[in-house]
Amino acid sequence: MENEIITLDIETENTGYDIMEDNKRIISVQLLEGDDSKIYYYGSESNDLESAKENLRNMIESGKSFLGFNIRGFDVRFIKKFLRIDIPPSQVIEISELPRMNSIREHFGKKKPRLVECCEFLNVECSHKGLMDEQSNKFKQLPNVIEKAKEGATTWNEQLGWGYDFSYRLALDRIAGGMAILEAFNEFVQANGDQNTAFYRYAMGDVFTENALYLKMKQAV
């Protein structure tokens, strides 16, 4: 039953170029079950991360399944690392492992298409991903961000053999993007979790989009 599936997403503090190794903490947990959505976040007086942990434990114990895009490689991993919650693999539904992904990979010529590309292919709304663009572009102009991106580009070029220019652009996007999310999160906390803030719309946008993508993929089978 669909109400047994929880769409799960997290946001983390990561202002480095390595999206796996530079994470410092989870700043928010977003859950969607049917029409019921919830965001738990660091600094909340009523919906803090301790409340998220309790809710996740209860959901795991009741046998709920957790749905997400790259949920195995990212969300589940960092929930275990930072929240000490171990979501059993049998209770995880990974969107990128669904059969429909084969035609999307073939279309884009990629082993791992991004969420926005999957949404584009299946005509699923994903405009929330652009909410951080303005702030991100601002950070890309800062000398310290540029230097850090050059460091990342050199590392990837030497260790992985990636082209320097490609590596620099990717590192710059990741660093500035992470800084934009963190800045928006701080504004969200100061606004007492206002749903009109960019961070709320960005963070909750992922669970709504991933759920819609999952349903579209099921229809396409």
Q: What are phi and psi of 36, to 5 degrees?
A: -95, 115
Q: Which two tokens stand for residue 159?
A: 């260790």
pLDDT > 80? residue 99:
yes
pLDDT of residue 110: 94
pLDDT > 50? residue 52:
yes
Whether 152 contacts 144, CB under 8 Å? no
Whether 185 contacts 199, CB under 8 Å? yes
pLDDT > 70? residue 1:
no
pLDDT of residue 115: 97
Residues 101-116: what's their mean pLDDT?
Answer: 95
Whether 98 contacts 216, CB under 8 Å? no
What are the residue boundaries of the structural domains of the chain, listed by start?
2-220
Record the pTM. 0.94
pLDDT > 90? residue 2:
no
Q: Which residue shows structure tokens 């928006």?
A: 184
Query: pLDDT tens-digit profile of 14-39?
Result: 999 999 999 999 999 999 999 999 99
Euclidean distance between the first and final Cα of the chain, in Å? 18
Describe the crossing of helices 198-220 and 164-190 by its angle, rounded to 10 degrees: 120
pLDDT of residue 219: 84
pLDDT of residue 220: 62
Q: Topology of 2-220 in CATH?
A: Nucleotidyltransferase; domain 5 (3.30.420)
Residues 184-196: what's their mean pLDDT?
Answer: 97
